[in-house]
Amino acid sequence: MSPAEQAEITRSARNGWLLSAPALVVLTLAAIGPLAIVVAYSFMPAGEYGNVAWGFSLEAWQGILFTKDIFDGSLAWADANLTIFWRSVKLSVLTTVFAFIVGFPTAWFIATRPPKARAMWLFLITIPFWTNLLIRTFAITEIIRKEGLLNTILLKLHIISQPFEMIYTDMAVFIGMTYVYLPLMVLPLFASLDRFDMRLLEAAYDLYANPWQVLRRVIMPIVKPGIIAGSILVFVPSLGAYVTPRLLGGGKNMMIGNFIELQFGQGRNWPLGASLSVMLLIIVTGALLVYVRYANRETRNGH
Partner 1 sequence: MATKGFVISRLPGFNPIAGLVFAGLYLPIIILVIYSFNAGRSVASWEGFSLQWYTVAWENDAVKAATVRSLYLAASAAVISTFLATLAALGTTRRKAFGGQTFIYVMINQPLMVPEVVSAVALLIFFAMIKQATGYAGMGYLIAAHSAFCIPFAYLPIRARLEGMDMTLETAASDLYASTWQAFRFVTLPLLLPGIFAGMMLAFVTSLDDVVITVFVKSAGQDTLPTYMLGQIRRQVTAEINAISTVLLALTVLLLTLFVLLTRKKD
Partner 2 sequence: MKKLLSTVALLLATAGMAQAAGELQLYNWGDYTNPELLKKFEAETGIKVTVTDYDSNDTALAKVEAGGSGFDLVVPSASFIQIFVEKGLIQELDLSKIPNHKNIAPEWMNVDYDPGRKFTVPWQWGTTGIGVNQTAYSGDINTSAIFMDPPPELVGKVNVTPEMGEVLALATMYMGGKPCSDDAELMKKVRDKLLEAKPKWISMDYGMTEKMSNNDIVASEYWNGAMFRARLANPDVKYGYPKEGFPIWMDQVALLKDAKNVEEAYKFLDFIAVPENAALISSFARYANGIAGSEEFMPADMKDAPEIVIPAEFKDKGVFLPTCTGKAQEYITAIWTELQK
Residues 47-66 that bind partner 2 (CB under 8 A): 48-51
For 62, 77, 101, 174, the CA distances from 87, given in Å and listed in that order, are 21, 17, 21, 11
Give the Cα separation of 243 and 82 in Å (integer): 21
Residue 264 near partner 2 by CB under 8 A: yes
Residue 299 near partner 2 by CB under 8 A: no
Residue 135 near partner 2 by CB under 8 A: no
Out of partner 2, partner 1, none, what residue 213 binds, judged by CB under 5 to 8 A for its kind, is: none
Contact 97, 177 (CB under 8 A): no
Q: How far is the CB of 293 from partner 2 (least distance, A)?
A: 34
Half-sphere exposure of 151 (CA within 13 A, CB side): 16
Give the Cα separation of 65 and 171 in Å (integer): 27
Residue with Cβ nearer partner 2 (8 or 79): 79
Look at residue 209 and give its three-state secondary structure: coil
Residue with Cβ nearer partner 2 (183 or 273): 273
Q: How far is the CB of 56 from partner 1 (least distance, A)?
A: 19
Residue with Cβ nearer partner 1 (172 or 260): 260
Say which amino acid occupies 152.
T
Q: How far is the CB of 104 from partner 1 (least distance, A)?
A: 8
Out of partner 2, partner 1, none, what residue 159 binds, judged by CB under 5 to 8 A for its kind, is: none
Out of partner 1, partner 2, none, what residue 109 binds, judged by CB under 5 to 8 A for its kind, is: partner 1
Out of partner 1, partner 2, none, what residue 245 binds, judged by CB under 5 to 8 A for its kind, is: none
Q: How far is the CB of 142 from partner 2 (least distance, A)?
A: 11
Determine the interface stretch with partner 2 among 73-81, 99-107, 121-129, 276-284 (rule: CB under 8 A).
Answer: 73-81
What part of residues 138-157 is at the interface with partner 2 (CB under 8 A)?
Answer: 145-147
Q: How far is the CB of 71 from partner 1 (least distance, A)?
A: 29
Give the Cα separation of 291 and 285 in Å (integer): 10
What part of residues 199-258 is at the interface with partner 2 (CB under 8 A)?
Answer: 246-247, 250-254, 258
Give the Cα separation of 252 and 86 in Å (integer): 16
Which candidate, 272, 212, 231, places its Cα nearest to that of 84? Answer: 272
Determine the interface stretch with partner 2 among 19-27, 92-100, 218-226, 260-268 (rule: CB under 8 A).
Answer: 260-268
Q: How far is the CB of 83 from partner 2 (least distance, A)?
A: 4
Contact 192, 273 (CB under 8 A): no
Alpha-carbon torsion (262, 134, 84, 238), positive or negative: negative
Q: Which long-range contacts (CB under 8 A, 24 or more apart) does 110-114 make?
A: 110/186, 110/190, 110/193, 111/190, 111/193, 111/194, 111/196, 112/198
Look at residue 198 and give its three-state secondary structure: coil
Look at residue 114 and give its three-state secondary structure: coil
Say which amino acid occupies 81.
N
Out of partner 2, partner 1, none, what residue 182 binds, judged by CB under 5 to 8 A for its kind, is: partner 1
Where on the chain is the footprint of partner 2 (CB under 8 A)?
48-51, 67, 70-71, 79-81, 83-84, 145-147, 168, 246-247, 250-254, 258-259, 262, 264-269
